[in-house]
Amino acid sequence: MDKEVVSRDATLRLGFLASGGGTNLQAILDACETGRLDGDPRIVISNNSSAGALERARAANIETRHLSGRTHPDPDTLDAAICSALQNLDVDIICLAGYMKKLGSRTLAAFQRRILNVHPALLPRHGGQGFYGSRVHAAVLAAGDSVSGVTVHLVDEEYDHGPVVDQQTVPVHRDDTVETLATRVLAVEHEIYPLTLQKIASGKINLDTIT
């Protein structure tokens, strides 16, 4: 894998891991298509054979793979299969887009500081195992927070734990419900994820110096 992916004007070779509908995936694909992101989507991998993310990838003529406990019951073998699929296509950056599984040690080591995730809150608040989807927004409202937001962070061995790469705030309104807050936060996710990737491609963000 080419480690010089943060040089100015680099085209990022992107790999994706997704479990669901893939709206963040679509936002990144759209940004690549329109030229707002200097990215080359190479592959979308899902643990869910019926994931909408796979349909989005096929519609964009991007290679897809279903790799899960069903295809590879042994976790180490599954980890090796995911890692190999990404390496075989010379992926520079892995984007988690609603991926509901932990990555294995082989993939984490091979793509150290090159795996990104987007989280619908301002980490380190409201993160960790079990904090995903509507549960995050419910926690924000229960805590009485006046501000929520979106965090793009590096992925490590723990859920929502890696260093923050980029963040954007989203105000919490007094009459917000989980659904209304989630809608506004998701719209920001669709903006910040491709924008952060472009900052990496242009050299404005150097993943090797993020702490």
- Annotated catalytic residues are 119
Neighbour-count burial for 24-39, b at 16+ CB within 10 Å, e otherwise: bbbbbbebbeeeebbb
- Rounded Cα–Cα distance for residues 34 and 46 (Å): 25
Phi, psi of 66 (to 5 degrees): -100, 110
Sheet with 115-119, strands from edge to edge, namely 63-66, 39-46, 12-18, 93-96, 115-119, 147-154, 164-171
Query: 15: burial class by Cβ within 10 Å (0-12, 13-18, 19+)?
Result: buried
Rounded Cα distance, 5 and 20, in Å: 28
Q: Which residues contact 139 (CB under 8 A, 6 or more apart)?
A: 121, 126, 131
Ramachandran angles phi, psi of 145, nearest 5°: -65, 140
